[in-house]
């Protein structure tokens, strides 16, 4: 996976820099309204609050290393391991891509990582960054930026066959070290990051968010090392949200 990501980063160094408001005005009105509401929800939500867990009846579960996501039964899992998970609908147009943590041997910026992650979604397709913003999602850990900072992008892009597409992308830098200028031979630094992307045809995105992506997001279970959560039975549900904290088969 690291070799694949490095290749994508080289191919996608066109940084994800936002364009003017003209790009946003070209989107469907419903999508523009969703973007405004979603950005406000990101910026003004409490990053220290535990996310509610809402299981989806009848949906299969993908289990990673200490985390899980549910996905629609008619979707196909394209890849995954203890750190990552990706799945798409039968058309390969509506897709979800998640990585819990990925390490790099260079101190990349958010924009550089964003370009790489977007390349996983759209390859070399032409795109417009409609909007982007940042938020410190681990304020209680007192990290030094860019550590702990999540950047979010709303990206409109052109699929070579299916037409206009839309992607919501989140990239969080978890750890970051830059040795440039310290004169250490062969060492420039390194970092680790996580990301999530949600992609669908532009005209379908808001419906897809309501019926698929948001239920997937709410179904996710996870425990964060050092995050103050206790998960006695190791089922991915913190004890505060688990009706059966000592039984991993029930929650």
Q: What CATH number does the domain containing 27 carry?
A: 3.40.1000.10
pLDDT for 178: 84
* Distance in angstroms (rounded) separating the CA atoms of residues 250 and 69: 16
Q: Return the pLDDT at 26.
A: 83
Number of domains in the chain: 1
Residue 232 lies in a domain: no
DSSP of 89-105, one letter per residue?
Answer: -TTS-SEEEEEEEEEES
- Answer yes or no: is 240 within a domain: no
**What is the distance between the alpha carbons of residues 17 and 75, in angstroms, rounded to a whole number?**
32
In 3D, which of 236, 210, 207 has the Cα closest to residue 69? 236
**What pLDDT is recorded for position 222?**
79
Compute the distance between CA of residue 238 and CA of residue 251 in angstroms, rounded to an integer. Answer: 10
Q: Against a cut of 0.85, is the pTM above it? A: no
Domain annotation covers residue 113: yes
Q: 10-residue block means of pLDDT along the chain (251 residues)?
A: 46 51 74 97 92 93 92 97 96 97 94 95 92 95 95 96 96 88 65 97 98 97 57 60 62 52
Q: Tell me, what's the pLDDT at 10?
A: 42
The answer to whether residue 84 is domain-embedded is: yes
Give the structural domain span for 164.
Answer: 2-43+62-181+188-223
Q: Looking at residue 17, what is its pLDDT?
A: 55
What pLDDT does 85 receive?
Answer: 96
């Amino acid at each position: 996976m690291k070799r694949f990501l490095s290749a994508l980063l080289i191919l996608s160094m066109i940084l994800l820099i936002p364009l003017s408001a003209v790009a946003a005005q070209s989107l469907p009105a419903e999508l523009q309204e969703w973007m405004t509401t979603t950005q406000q929800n990101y910026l003004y939500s409490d990053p220290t609050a535990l996310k509610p867990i809402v299981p989806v009846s009848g949906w299969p579960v993908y289990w990673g290393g200490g985390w899980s996501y549910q996905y629609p039964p008619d979707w196909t899992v394209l890849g995954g391991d203890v750190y990552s998970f990706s799945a798409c609908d039968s058309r390969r147009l509506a897709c979800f891509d998640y990585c819990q943590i990925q390490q790099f041997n260079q101190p990349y910026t958010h924009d550089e990582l964003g370009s790489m992650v977007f390349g996983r979604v759209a390859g070399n397709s032409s795109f417009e960054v409609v909007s982007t913003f940042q938020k410190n999602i681990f304020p209680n850990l007192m990290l030094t930026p860019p550590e702990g900072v999540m950047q979010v992008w709303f990206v409109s892009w052109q699929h070579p066959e299916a037409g206009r597409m839309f992607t919501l992308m989140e990239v969080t830098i978890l750890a970051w070290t830059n040795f440039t200028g310290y004169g250490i031979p062969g060492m420039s630094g390194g970092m680790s990051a996580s990301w999530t992307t949600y992609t669908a045809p532009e005209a379908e995105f808001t419906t897809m968010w309501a019926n698929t992506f948001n239920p997937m997001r709410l179904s996710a279970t996870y425990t964060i090392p050092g995050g103050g959560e206790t998960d006695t039975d190791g089922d991915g549900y913190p004890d505060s949200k688990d009706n059966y904290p000592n039984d991993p088969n029930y929650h």
